[in-house]
Amino acid sequence: MRRENYDVVVIGSGIGGMCAAALMSQGSYKTLVVERLPQLGGRFSTIEYKGFKLPTGATVVEMGGVVEQIFREVGAEFEPRLIPSAYCRIGGKDYELPQKGQLRTLISIASGNEKKSEKVMNALRRGLAWQEPSDRISLHDWLLQYTQDEKILRIFWGLSTAMLGVDDHELPAGEFFRYLKAPRSPEGGIAPRGNLSMMESLAKVVRANNAQIWTCCQAKQILVADGVARRVIIQKDKDEVEITAKVVISNTGPKDTVELAGKENFDKGYLKQLRETLRPVPVIFIQTASDRPLVEYPTLILPQARRVNLVICPTLVCPELAPRGKHLLISYGTPKSVLPPYNFEKEIGLNIQDLKDNFPEFDRCGEILMASCFYGDWPGFRTMPGCDLPQKTPIENLYNVGDGVKPPGWTGLPSCAQSARIVAEDVKQRFKLRG
* CA 406/CA 414 separation, integer angstroms: 9
Terminal-residue alpha carbon distance, the chain: 32
Which phi and psi angles does 281 have, rounded to 5°?
-105, 120
Go through the chain and tell me how many residues it has.
Answer: 435
Pick from 425, 433, 422, 420: nearest CA to 16: 420
Tens-binned pLDDT, residue by residue, of the chain (435 aa): 899 999 999 999 999 999 999 999 999 999 999 999 999 999 999 999 999 999 999 999 999 999 999 999 999 999 999 999 999 999 999 999 998 888 999 999 999 888 999 999 999 999 999 999 999 999 999 999 999 999 999 999 999 999 999 999 999 999 999 999 999 888 999 999 999 999 999 999 999 999 999 999 999 999 999 999 999 999 999 899 999 999 999 999 999 999 999 999 999 999 999 999 999 999 999 999 999 999 999 999 999 999 999 999 999 999 999 999 999 999 999 999 999 999 999 999 999 999 999 999 999 999 999 999 999 989 999 999 999 999 999 999 999 999 999 999 999 999 999 999 999 999 999 998 865
Report the predicted TM-score, pTM, of the whole model to 2 decimal places: 0.96
| Helical segments of 12-138, H only | 15-26, 66-74, 102-111, 114-129
Distance CA 391, CA 388 (A): 9
Encoded amino acid at 163, one letter = M
- The helix/strand/coil state of 312 is strand
- Displacement of CA 351 from its chain's centroid (Å): 20
* Cα Rg of the chain, angstroms: 22
